[in-house]
């Protein structure tokens, strides 16, 4: 029996690879996924995401939600369980 599958980021190509499937990401999606992969299992608040992905300033309060939604959609295409919402705290990469 094989172990759990892991998602791999190709930062140069801005692509995510999971179970042999690959999807190209936008620059912000790639940065966000890299943070989730590096901090796998940790819950990241919206403020932490804004600081890391947007450098502390974001044009719209919904920008994090929209970017997470787009990233979830792209991860779903390659069979990854995606990003979980942790109510009242933020987001984390699903195992």
CATH code of residue 26: 1.10.10.10
pLDDT per residue rounded down to tens, the chain (95 residues): 455 688 999 988 999 999 999 999 999 999 999 999 998 889 999 999 999 999 988 878 789 999 999 999 999 999 999 999 999 999 999 97
Q: Within a domain: residue 27?
A: yes
Q: Within a domain: residue 44?
A: yes
Task: Assess contact for 27 and 52: CB atoms under 8 A.
Answer: no
Q: Within a domain: residue 2?
A: no
Q: Within a domain: residue 59?
A: yes
Q: How many structural domains does the chain have?
A: 1
Tokens at 22, concatenated: 């690959």
Residue 36, domain extent: 7-93
Q: Within a domain: residue 21?
A: yes
pLDDT at 49: 94
pLDDT at 1: 47
Cβ-Cβ contacts under 8 Å for 43 (sequence gap 6 or more)? 86, 89, 90, 91, 92
| Residues 46, 62, 76: CA angle, nearest 5 degrees | 80
pLDDT at 2: 55
Compute and round to an integer the Cα radius of gyration of the chain. Answer: 13
């Amino acid at each position: 029996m094989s172990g759990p599958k892991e998602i791999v980021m190709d930062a140069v190509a801005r692509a995510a690879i999971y179970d042999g499937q690959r999807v190209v990401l936008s620059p912000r999606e790639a940065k966000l996924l890299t943070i989730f992969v590096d901090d796998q299992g940790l819950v990241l608040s919206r403020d932490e995401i804004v600081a890391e992905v947007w450098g502390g300033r974001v044009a719209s309060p919904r920008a994090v939600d929209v970017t997470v939604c787009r990233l979830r959609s792209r991860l779903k295409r390659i069979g990854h369980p995606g990003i979980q919402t942790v109510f009242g705290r933020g987001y984390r990469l699903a195992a």
